Amino acid sequence: CILARETEGDMKKVWVQVDPWRKDLVTAALEAGADALVLPTGRSAEAKALGRITTVAPDGDIRLGTDVVRLEIAGKDDEERAARSPVKTLILQMRDWTIIPLENLLAQRGGLFVEVRRAEDARTVTQILERGADGIVLVSDDPGEIKRACAAVREHAEKVALVAATHGRLGADSKGLGT
């Protein structure tokens, strides 16, 4: 009997914005299992000295302004601009966001991260239209909220199930096919 992996869903990403710099927020993000930190210029090395983490900054591992771009979504024109953007990854800053504009964008493209301030919103954003946004950027100055948001996103993350499988007898031929 061999155990094989079956996976469901996609791993949603949790990025935590730490701007202005605060060591306690970086530590909370590291402890909570955040995927990346969105930092001001010049702080990537300092964050990496505290733990293994991807940095998103103008001088980070992921370059803010080049690899990923922030867009404010205040109306229909902004939605259309986001849908047409050639940039692979967008961070959406949605003023008084509602689910409908986000659903419209999710139906048109991937590579969307949404700024949120609470764990409850993180959960909603990553589950909209069953698929959800690819990730969230948490903007909070509360270490406890960072932990809650990471947990909220992870609770509906990739589920891995082990299933039993059988194999035939292995033969001596070069292909390993049974006889």
Q: How far apart are CA 178 and CA 174, in angstroms?
A: 11
Cα separation, 38 vs 57, whole angstroms: 6
Is 115 a residue whose pLDDT tops 60? yes
Q: In whole angstroms, how far apart are CA 76 and each of 38, 102, 139?
A: 27, 11, 24
Tens digit of each residue's pLDDT (9 = 90 or more) over 31-74: 999 999 999 999 999 999 999 999 999 999 999 999 999 999 98
| pLDDT-based confidence at residue 172 (cuts at 50, 70, 90) | low
* Closest-CA residue to 118 (of 151, 92, 91): 151
- Asked whether the predicted pLDDT for residue 18 surpasses 60, the reply is yes
Give CA separation, 49 vs 23, 35, 55, 60, 152, in Å. 11, 16, 12, 14, 27
